[in-house]
């Protein structure tokens, strides 16, 4: 059985069953996700796909357009820079642990993309951030095919 | 043409930070028993149950559908578990409405229960499919608030979020089931520590263990059971996708569409005039203003004015969240059903101390996921 | 009186041990696209979607309802996620039927998808509520088989389970979507290693990644879409509790009751004579015999005779699982929808190589949980 | 965020996202469960509750009867012995790991109970087990309020 559990006496508060539900998984992300991941890791490129019908450039890339139910197979490189759509300066995580310094979460419309790209900002103080500013990716030297292959976006 | 159906009984638990005295099925049963008692019927009169609760990753509970049945007293009857993110509780009610209007069942019990205190740690989980493209709920709401303020500044300012909190916490003082019943002033909200700009601590909701239940009946049974049922007059559900081109967080299309569908069904043309109040899913302060606009009660950018001028106060022209809303009690997926429950009770004239006088039509709203789920339910005192 | 509705399109994926080439939404989309193509309609013609999938603890997938919508091509339409253990896929179809018969929607897509290969380790999870009172599925099925054999010995013996496996694997050889298509002889089953007595390795099902989808339409649309729709004639759902006094695993009441409800609705008095075939949820070999009895196709204890005399063979008087059943393809919660899909295709005359000639009425069954969930669906060639 | 994950290259098979969904929990089991647990641990007693309407003695104890929707508040001690209802000799776990020796899972109708009690058998070979035989609990010295406070049931 996954996880482990044990009864803990809770006194007059009722008994508590403590434990951990542990579910190791290995999802197939699909072939489009594989190429997206590989291009990030090996070529520092952000690749989207264009819908054959509505022509939106979709991120993350999928073999279909969710709006048209049509194939989306034309690969399109989008820029690693774009316009800041919106942001928030986060002081801590949802469990109330406070970060050493605020983390600036951002939505970015990369040049050539049709969908917002979520990431974090760096090399800028929260008070100096404004919507509409131009930002560019700072790539990590140590890449594994996830969004963290980009360290952060910085103002340009 | 759809068969008529109505809410004829309602029950909820007190919504508390943590209920250590009851298990999940015991918590669900509290609300179910109250709803049945409220309707004046027995569990055996129920023909089917729709149960809504959070996913495992929300509360660490395994497949509750397997053992919730006996707690609800319906062995041998159909039980359907539903889940649609934050709108789960509302989806349970709506699925129960389909059960009844299909003609297959006369009396259906909808129950929603969440016990988020039982998950010890961890925020909302990753979207595994999106390879990190998903924001957590608070980040999403913060960005939504910023886009909204920036678009409409200075008609909408941070102070307007604070006014929503002050209003709703004041309303909650009259609601014995609310979780947070101590009033706060708008200036206290403004002075509370920032958590994710522009959201401050008091702009954000608490988190509660709680449950809600509604008894839904067809026309014939509804007339027998209740002297003044809350008839379903309009229903709208809209599920957009995640990662959508042109998605406007400050005026979310799923909310607009769900309202349009419900208004069309209910023959409503001027929502502000034809409806008497609304319970919206105000998970964060600014959202109340955004929903007020997207549901068509005022023009985009006028949400701030609505709260500032007291229009949405409990004694205003168009009360919003007389119960105190999610900002005063946030029991996960049950919160969406609570909005419907409060709207139905207002129409039935049985909302208690926070009853608004003379309510004939009331609306309930909810949202979920990455803003992609939206439901709207309109109740009427007449069939 | 319930509005008429029918299955007008069906699609499924090949059911494979592991599909590494597609993600969960991509897998679901394969089945959905085939169902839409089969019906000859576009995604935009669909008014709502009901989606059934396993819980997180089954496949390690987080809240799929949040990102399945775009994969199914229905942005802006209602999506409801349902879950009722092993009967999940059937529950999705039944909920879609309620959607349509409520009069709120004309065309609803029901999709069920499971990808159990993605959970690396771990059996079925604990029932947290029951403090260890729950058996795992295989233990449960083994005890059920023992009680059944002991009660009816020597009319039912271990060999009869083996005959079921041989029959169903033989049928699966004609089903291009099945997971296990190599025939086995009853003696191979008997000689396979014991896993949980009296169950041997070949008495137990494989486990597959797979999806299924059905297009369900109201009378007017069904007549336009399909020349020979599979009309819903009877539906029965029964959810008993867990930990029940007097629960008889060898003749489970939830199955008996679900069938009674469906027969009543379909005006069926002599199931064996009035129905042409049944697809049962044969998760373990002996269960096919138990369900054949509990569904009323023979008397208790006569299940062994049914398979031994070839009555339930594909060319017998009353075929059971002409598709090969769960023993030949077991895609989790999608398996329950597959039973309905196969029964509907038989009525539509489009089951392919495993089509039974002249089918007018066919039934699908499923079970789930600790035997407490049961569904029965009867399709008819006439409205 | 709970759990951890990482992209693993899957070559032509598509990319795999591996990780673990880890959900620590602390369920309130309720007051009836607490007494059940405490009686097991402290007094080696198995306690059920009787429904005020149908009079069934329910296990595990709950504050309500699921069949009548009526309170079940009368505590009833059931025996730690009873009749074997059915059993299975399990050779390994569902993930195909083989046990050193088969584990005999059993359903037991304890004297005075209305619901089967699930446990394992000991001090008996699988071939010597038969339905209807009498069995009795062998308690553990090291108890924590779960069903494992009983080591196994043995034939009597
Ligand atoms: Zn498109
Ligand atoms: Zn009782």
Residue B314 lies in a domain: no
The whole-number pLDDT of residue C127 equals: 46
Range of weakest confidence among A12-26, B91-105, D41-55: A12-26
Q: Is residue B354 within a helix (H) or strand (E), and if so which, with residue range?
A: none
Residue C112 lies in a domain: yes
DSSP-derived pairing of the beta strands A117-121 and B5-12? unpaired
Closest by Cα among C111, C87, C114, C83 to C18:
C114
Mean pLDDT within B179-207: 95
The whole-number pLDDT of residue B124 equals: 45
Cα distances (Å, whole numbers) of residue B42 to B35, B109, C166, C254: 10, 11, 49, 21
What is the residue whose two structure tokens read 């068969």? B3
pLDDT digits over B22-35, tens only? Answer: 888 889 999 999 99
Higher per-residue confidence, C98 vs B130: C98
Average pLDDT over chain B reads: 92
With CB atoms and an 8 Å threshold, state whether A146 touches B249.
Answer: no
The whole-number pLDDT of residue C82 equals: 93
CA distance, residue A12 to nearest chain B CA (Å) = 8
CATH of the domain at C95: 3.40.47.10
Minimal Cβ distance to C69: which of B70, B97, B240: B240
Determine the structural domain holding residue A132 and report its residue range. 31-155
CA distance, residue D146 to nearest chain C CA (Å) = 7
Minimal Cβ distance to D33: which of A13, A15, A37: A15
Percentage of the residues of chain C whose pLDDT score is greater than 70: 95
**Domain total for chain C?**
1
Residue D119 lies in a domain: yes
SS3 at position A43: helix
Residue B99 lies in a domain: yes
Residue A6 lies in a domain: no
Higher per-residue confidence, B310 vs C26: B310
The whole-number pLDDT of residue C241 equals: 77
Residue D4 lies in a domain: no
The whole-number pLDDT of residue C124 equals: 45
Residue B270 lies in a domain: no
Residue D125 lies in a domain: yes
Q: Are A66 and A106 a contacting pair, CB within 8 Å?
A: no
Higher per-residue confidence, C288 vs C57: C288
Cα distances (Å, whole numbers) of residue B224 to A61, B96, B149, B219: 55, 19, 49, 9
pLDDT digits over C197-240, tens only? Answer: 999 999 999 999 999 999 999 999 999 999 999 999 999 999 98
The whole-number pLDDT of residue A3 equals: 36
Percentage of the residues of chain C whose pLDDT score is greater than 90: 78
With CB atoms and an 8 Å threshold, state whether A15 touches D8.
Answer: no
Residue C95 lies in a domain: yes
At residue C1 the predicted structure's pLDDT band, cuts being 50, 70 and 90, is: low
Cα distances (Å, whole numbers) of residue A150 to A45, A83, A117, A132, A138: 10, 16, 12, 20, 6
Q: Is residue C118 within a helix (H) or strand (E), and if so which, with residue range?
A: none
pLDDT digits over B284-321, tens only? Answer: 999 999 999 999 999 999 999 999 999 999 999 999 99
Higher per-residue confidence, C232 vs D19: C232
**Domain total for chain D?**
1
With CB atoms and an 8 Å threshold, state whether A24 touches C121.
Answer: yes
Percentage of the residues of chain B whose pLDDT score is greater than 90: 78
pLDDT digits over C326-370, tens only? Answer: 999 999 889 999 999 999 999 999 999 999 999 999 999 999 988
**The pLDDT of residue C130 is above 70:** no
**The pLDDT of residue B70 is above 90:** no
**The pLDDT of residue D6 is above 80:** no
Average pLDDT over chain C reads: 92
**The pLDDT of residue A33 is above 90:** no
Chain C interface disruption, residue of D94, D113, D152, most C CBs within 10 A: D94
Closest by Cα among C348, C347, C342, C350 to C12:
C342
Residue B249 lies in a domain: no
Q: Which residues of B311-333 are buried (b: 16+ CB within 10 A; e: fewer)?
A: bbbbebebbbbbbbbbbbbbbbb
Residue C278 lies in a domain: no
The whole-number pLDDT of residue D16 equals: 67
User: Could you give the residue ranges of the DSSP H alpha helices within D1-156?
Assistant: 31-43
Compute and round to an integer the Cα radius of gyration of chain D: 21
The whole-number pLDDT of residue A126 equals: 94
Q: Is residue B129 within a helix (H) or strand (E), and if so which, with residue range?
A: none
**The pLDDT of residue B129 is above 60:** no
**The pLDDT of residue B207 is above 80:** yes
Q: Residues of chain A whose C-beta is under 8 A from some C-beta in C?
A: 1-3, 5, 7, 17, 19, 21-31, 33, 62-69
Residue A28, by phi and psi: left (phi above 0), alpha (psi -120 to 50) or beta? Answer: beta
Distance CA A46, CA A61 (A): 10
Determine the structural domain holding residue C57 and report its residue range. 5-117+207-225
CA distance, residue D26 to nearest chain B CA (Å) = 5
Mean pLDDT within B176-185: 96
At residue B55 the predicted structure's pLDDT band, cuts being 50, 70 and 90, is: confident
User: Does residue A63 belong to the interface with chain D, where contact is any CB pair within 8 Å?
Assistant: no
**The pLDDT of residue D5 is above 60:** no
Range of weakest confidence among A10-14, C98-102, C286-290: A10-14
Q: D40 C-alpha vs ligand 2 centroid, how far in Å?
A: 24
User: Does residue D2 belong to the interface with chain A, where contact is any CB pair within 8 Å?
Assistant: no
């Amino acid at each position: 059985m996954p996880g482990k559990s044990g009864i803990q006496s809770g006194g007059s508060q009722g008994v508590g069953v403590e434990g951990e539900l542990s579910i190791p998984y290995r999802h197939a992300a699909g072939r489009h996700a594989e190429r997206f991941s590989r291009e990030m890791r090996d070529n520092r490129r952000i690749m989207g796909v264009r819908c054959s019908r509505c022509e939106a450039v979709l991120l993350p890339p999928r073999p279909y357009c969710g709006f048209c139910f049509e194939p989306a197979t034309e690969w399109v490189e989008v820029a690693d820079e774009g316009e800041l759509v919106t942001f928030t300066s986060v002081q801590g995580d949802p469990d109330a642990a406070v970060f050493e310094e605020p983390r600036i979460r951002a939505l970015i419309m990369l040049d050539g993309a049709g969908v917002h790209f979520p990431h974090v900002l760096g090399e800028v103080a929260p008070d100096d951030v404004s919507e509409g500013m131009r930002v560019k990716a700072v790539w990590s030297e140590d890449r594994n095919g996830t969004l963290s292959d980009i360290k952060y976006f910085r103002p340009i | 043409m759809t068969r008529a159906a109505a809410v004829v009984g309602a029950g909820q638990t007190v919504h508390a930070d943590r209920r250590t005295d009851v298990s999940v099925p015991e918590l669900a049963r509290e609300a179910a028993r109250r709803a049945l008692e409220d309707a004046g019927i027995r569990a055996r009169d129920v023909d089917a149950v729709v149960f809504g609760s959070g996913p495992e990753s929300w509360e660490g509970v395994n497949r509750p559908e397997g053992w919730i049945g006996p707690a609800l007293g319906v062995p041998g009857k159909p039980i359907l578990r539903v889940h649609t993110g934050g709108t789960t509780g509302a989806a349970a009610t709506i699925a129960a409405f389909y059960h009844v209007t299909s003609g297959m069942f006369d009396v259906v019990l909808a129950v929603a229960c969440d016990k988020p205190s039982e998950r010890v740690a961890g925020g909302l989980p990753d979207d595994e499919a999106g390879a990190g493209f998903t924001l957590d709920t608070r980040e999403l709401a913060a960005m939504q608030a910023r886009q909204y303020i920036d678009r409409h500044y200075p008609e909408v300012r941070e102070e307007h979020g604070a006014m929503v909190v002050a209003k709703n916490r004041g309303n909650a003082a009259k609601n014995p089931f609310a979780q947070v019943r101590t009033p706060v002033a708008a200036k206290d909200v403004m002075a509370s520590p920032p958590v994710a700009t522009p959201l401050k601590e008091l702009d954000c909701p608490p988190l509660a263990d709680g449950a809600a239940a509604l008894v839904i009946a067809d026309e014939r049974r509804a007339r027998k059971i209740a002297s003044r049922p809350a008839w379903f007059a309009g229903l709208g559900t809209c599920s957009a996708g995640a990662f959508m081109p042109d998605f406007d967080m400050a005026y979310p299309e799923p909310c607009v569409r769900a309202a349009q569908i419900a208004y069309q069904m209910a023959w409503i043309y001027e929502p502000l005039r034809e409806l008497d109040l609304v319970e919206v899913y105000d998970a964060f302060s600014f959202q109340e203003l955004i929903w007020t606009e997207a549901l068509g009660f005022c023009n985009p950018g006028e949400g701030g004015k609505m709260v500032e001028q007291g229009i949405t106060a409990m004694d205003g022209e168009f009360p919003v969240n007389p119960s105190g809303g999610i900002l005063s009690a946030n029991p996960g997926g049950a919160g969406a059903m609570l909005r419907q429950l409060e709207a139905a009770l207002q129409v039935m004239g049985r909302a208690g101390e926070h009853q608004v006088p003379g309510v004939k039509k009331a609306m309930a709203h909810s949202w979920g996921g990455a803003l992609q789920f939206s439901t709207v339910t309109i109740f009427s005192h007449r069939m």
